[in-house]
Amino acid sequence: MKGTNSLKIAWLFPSLERGSYWHPIWSEFCKTFPQTIVYTGYWTGFSAGFENTFNIEVVGETRYIRDEPAAEGYNCRFIYAPPSVVKHLVRFQPDVIFTSGFSIWTVLALLLKFWFHWRVVVLYDGNSPGIDHRSSKVRYIARRLMAWFIDAYAANSQTAKEYLLGFIGAKETQLFSRPYLVPQATALLQKQLPPDALPAVTRPTFIFVGDLIARKGVHSLLAACEVLQQRGVENYTVVIVGDGVQRSELEEAARSRCLSDRLVWTGWVEYGSLGSYFRHADVFVFPTLEDIWGMVVLEAMVLGKPVLCSQWAGSCEMVTDGKNGYVFDPNHPEELADAMQRLIQTPELIATMGQQSEQMVTAYTPQAASQLFIDIVSSVLNQKSESRSSTARFLP
């Protein structure tokens, strides 16, 4: 195998619309493999503190072609990723390609592999009913065919691992399973806010961070607050950080349920300031109806917060009931209300669970994620060397 300084690594991401969490990982990865290029069709710039720590090339424009919007799950949509990435790859001649999911760029990378003998690694972040396309025979056949030519997989979650093994037909020996979508506390605290810039609250304070869309389940959170109100539990605040198409609808629902005094709506907050809001709160709530992962759960944990997490989030595997939080079904708001009430009435649990969260997430860092990908590079290139050696033994 070549020395790490001479190895060329390509990363294919049709969109990096919300890919800030990748920047610390690539920054670390490039310390081992400096000849690394990230290709994308959608780029919003470097996260603060990671400017020019990795090479990025924008190769056209990625567009989303939407189907009918889903009521409470992921929208059905097709991604148009510019095929011009091919000429960039041919010019760069990478030894290993990391590619995101089963996009058209993954297909192109696998086709090119026959001519250039590159190693192709598929990153699979997580799985859920809205994105696994189990009911589509065309996608099923296509993905099963692709599996024949993929060299390795990185599975970010247990559900991702199960999908790759059981549905795609990946082999255990090809699979590297470990959460790699991980936060960095310093990135969340890049722009710390003074106390007077944060909302006045009644403690304990529960915080939600995310888009205000149906899939994120904020209606379930409001329903849980209504249950608490019916029980006479009112000594708490919910801070809702985010914006989206449902904001006005949700605010009206809160008013109609007489919950406005319990809620604070902050609107959109830039990533580097989120840490201030997390630290200002006591407990993180994630009532999503469908999420392949949910990075925000780990962001809350790395800042020492207990987590009340929907069972429909891939990252619920990071929550141990009664240890660092509780897992609940958002379709049954009384379950969330029970967990909130337990913490309101037993505030000493909050500090204990928060400490557990922080300890449990210490192993999941950008450095550890980078090492996972370094290990994958070594593995697939060693396989390539072994394959050549085996072939050579049979040559005359």
Q: Is residue 68 part of a domain?
A: yes
Q: Is residue 298 part of a domain?
A: yes
Same domain flag for 140 and 205: no
Task: Report residue 124's pLDDT band, with 50, 70 and 90 as the boundaries.
Answer: very high
Residue 229 and residue 232: Cα distance in Å, rounded? 5
Confidence at residue 127, expressed as pLDDT on a 0 to 100 scale = 84
- Domain tally, the chain: 2
More confident residue, 67 or 212: 212
Same domain flag for 18 and 73: yes
pLDDT of 134-179, one tens digit each?
777 888 899 999 999 999 999 999 999 999 999 999 999 999 999 9
Nearest residue to 42 (alpha-carbon basis) of 74, 82, 98, 100: 82
Contacts of 329 (CB under 8 A, 6+ apart): 310, 311, 312, 335
Same domain flag for 146 and 212: no
Q: Which pairing describes strands 63-66 and 77-80: parallel, antiparallel, or unpaired? A: antiparallel
Q: Is residue 14 part of a domain?
A: yes
Confidence at residue 395, expressed as pLDDT on a 0 to 100 scale = 32
Same domain flag for 228 and 157: no
Same domain flag for 238 and 316: yes
Whether the bond between 199 and the residue before it is cis, its omega within 30 degrees of 0, is no
Same domain flag for 287 and 242: yes
pLDDT of 329-387, one tens digit each?
999 999 999 999 999 999 999 999 999 999 999 999 999 999 999 999 999 999 855 54
Q: Is residue 1 part of a domain?
A: no
- Residue 389 pLDDT > 70: no
Same domain flag for 178 and 35: yes
Same domain flag for 191 and 176: no
Same domain flag for 118 and 202: no
HSE on the CB side for 113, CA within 13 Å? 21
Same domain flag for 260 and 147: no
CATH number assigned to the domain comprising residue 302: 3.40.50.2000
Residue 95 and residue 387: Cα distance in Å, rounded? 15
Same domain flag for 236 and 336: yes
User: Rounded mean pLDDT of the chain?
Assistant: 91
Enclosing domain of residue 60: 9-182+365-393
Query: Per the structure block, which two tokens stand in for 267?
Result: 């609107």
Q: Is residue 89 part of a domain?
A: yes
Q: Is residue 312 part of a domain?
A: yes
- Which pTM value belongs to this model? 0.90
Same domain flag for 137 and 49: yes
